[in-house]
Homo-oligomer: A and B are copies of this chain.
Amino acid sequence: MEKEITFLEELSSLIELKDSESIHQLMESLKTEDLIYAYNRLSKDEQVSLIGLLSPEDAAMLLERIPQNQAIEAIENAQIETAASILNELYSDDQVDILAELETEEAEAILEEMRPQEAENVRKLIQYDSESAGGLMVTEYLAYDSAMTVAQTVKDLQEKAEEYEDYHVQYIYVTSDNRFVGVLQMRDLLLSRPNTKLDTIAIKNAKTMLPNARLEELIGFFDKYDFFGVPVVSETEELLGIVLRKDLREAETERSNLELLETQGIVGGEELRSMPVWLRSKRRLSWLSVNIVLNIIAASVIAFYQDTLEEVIALAVFLPVISDMSGCSGNQAVAVSLRELSLGLVKPYELARVLWQEIKVGLINGLVLGLLIGLAAFIYMGNFYLGLVVGGALAINTIVAVSIGGTIPLFLKKMNTDPALASGPILTTVTDMLGFFLALTFAGAAMSYLV
């Protein structure tokens, strides 16, 4: 605890002193997690000052490590010149991720200040969807003409070793007149005679991707092949860039994280507590306000049976339990379906199979939960029939809840709707209504035994 406070205070005071050199040394000494934490804990003003005090290389390193929202904010708040010099140092995919989120005017101003070659590259890349091969690729790669010899290639590599240090040099790409010919591993250079032409040793039938290939397709590709990267090649066979396995994994993890946040009601992207209160509040409310309307609609079932409830007031104790427990059981099934969908173990049209698999679990769990709540109701009121009414309602409702919970994500996926976002609210609305209806109808039917 004390250690954290030390480096945080030290960073704050160094920023106030504008001591660039000491800041550089402190940053070098910090673990990544401490660096991320320290940046997050600085005030907005301190964050802006810090970015201005860092060398472009250090600032770029920092921006690559902090959450993307914060990186975008840092660039927004920086001077145009500072922003441009930092962006020059980032990998092409990060450049695009940040610039795509800025206001058009601001992005344009920064691009004007960037190195012309980098800016031109960004302008090309920014047109691709961020979840396509074009949007995920980097343009930092090594390409040599197929007519070059191994010796010439090695010489170039040797001369530009420093420049290439930041490149992902697992592979060398061989082109001819800008058209993609094939791929070479470093060790292929090692194992060939110096005067061999690259053309004769390049692997010609290398797998490539079109720039509009979707994230799913890329995930499938890297699952199947153990490569570090795949070249992205246009329809006219021009080499455009490389999608690296590591960047793909990041995109995949990010998507699955956002999806799982959605199931908890965090919508519109990741929420960080460093965001403005009104924005956090607005985003959460957008989901809550839909839910409260659905909730009130569901609760109106109770209003409809008010007479029954008036006679058996004890039921009011158990209605929230029925509503909550059905939601819990249903959400378990939703979670399993979302997971099986993302693992590819189930197809969206296999509603019947999933339904059958869930009904079996629903039967067992419905019986057990119904028994438990029935017992509680019986003990509480000393009335066996109240136990039967409440337990029966929860038992049936559990079976329905897991059936809907298991199938609704498949159905929504089939309809091209986001299953992570909509499954929960739909599920709880239906199960609330049915649960209230069952409990109150059963009570109405057994009224003479209950009062």
Residue numbers of A with Cβ under 8 A of B are 1, 4, 31-33, 36-37, 40, 65, 67, 154, 157-158, 161, 169-170, 186-187, 189-191, 220, 223-224, 245-246, 249, 253, 256-257, 260-261, 263-266, 270-274, 277-278, 280-281, 284-285, 287-289, 291-293, 295-296, 298-300, 302-303, 306, 309-310, 313-314, 316-321, 323-325, 327-329, 331-332, 334-336, 339-340, 343-347, 349, 354, 357, 360-361, 364-365, 368-369, 372-373, 376, 380, 428, 432, 436
Contact A281 B339, beta carbon cutoff 8 Å = no
CA distance A364 to B289 in the complex (A): 13
CA distance A335 to B303 in the complex (A): 33
Contact B339 A261, beta carbon cutoff 8 Å = yes
List of B residues within 8 angstroms of A344 by Cβ:
33, 36-37
Instruction: Specify the chain B residue showing the minimal Cβ separation from A300.
Output: B317
A-B contact pairs, 18 of them (CB 8 A): A32-B220, A65-B223, A169-B187, A186-B187, A256-B257, A270-B339, A273-B354, A277-B360, A277-B361, A281-B361, A284-B329, A284-B365, A288-B328, A291-B324, A292-B372, A302-B316, A303-B317, A320-B324
Given contacts A246-B245, A310-B313, are A336 and B266 in contact (CB under 8 A)?
yes
CB of A86, distance to nearest CB on chain B (Å): 18
Contact B324 A295, beta carbon cutoff 8 Å = yes
- Across the interface, A273 reaches (CB within 8 A) one of B263, B274, B357, B373, namely B357
- Across the interface, A336 reaches (CB within 8 A) one of B157, B273, B340, namely B273
Given contacts A220-B31, A361-B281, are A291 and B328 in contact (CB under 8 A)?
yes
CB of A182, distance to nearest CB on chain B (Å): 18
CB of A84, distance to nearest CB on chain B (Å): 24
- Across the interface, A33 reaches (CB within 8 A) one of B220, B264, B323, namely B220
Instruction: Specify the chain B residue showing the minimal Cβ separation from A303.
Output: B317
Instruction: Specify the chain B residue showing the minimal Cβ separation from A373.
Output: B292
Contact B284 A361, beta carbon cutoff 8 Å = yes
List of B residues within 8 angstroms of A157 by Cβ:
187, 190-191
Instruction: Specify the chain B residue showing the minimal Cβ separation from A329.
Output: B288
Given contacts A223-B65, A284-B332, A317-B299, are A272 and B340 in contact (CB under 8 A)?
yes
Instruction: Specify the chain B residue showing the minimal Cβ separation from A37.
Output: B344
Given contacts A257-B256, A296-B376, A340-B272, are A281 and B364 in contact (CB under 8 A)?
yes
A245, A265, A270, A360: which has the most chain B beta carbons within 10 Å? A265
CB of A281, distance to nearest CB on chain B (Å): 4
List of B residues within 8 angstroms of A332 by Cβ:
264-266, 284, 287-288
Given contacts A317-B302, A339-B261, are A349 and B31 in contact (CB under 8 A)?
no
List of B residues within 8 angstroms of A257 by Cβ:
256, 339
CB of A253, distance to nearest CB on chain B (Å): 6
CA distance A372 to B369 in the complex (A): 33
CA distance A339 to B263 in the complex (A): 13
List of B residues within 8 angstroms of A161 by Cβ:
187, 191
- Across the interface, A364 reaches (CB within 8 A) one of B272, B277, B303, B369, namely B277
CB of A324, distance to nearest CB on chain B (Å): 5
Contact A335 B264, beta carbon cutoff 8 Å = yes
List of B residues within 8 angstroms of A169 by Cβ:
187
Instruction: Specify the chain B residue showing the minimal Cβ separation from A263.
Output: B264
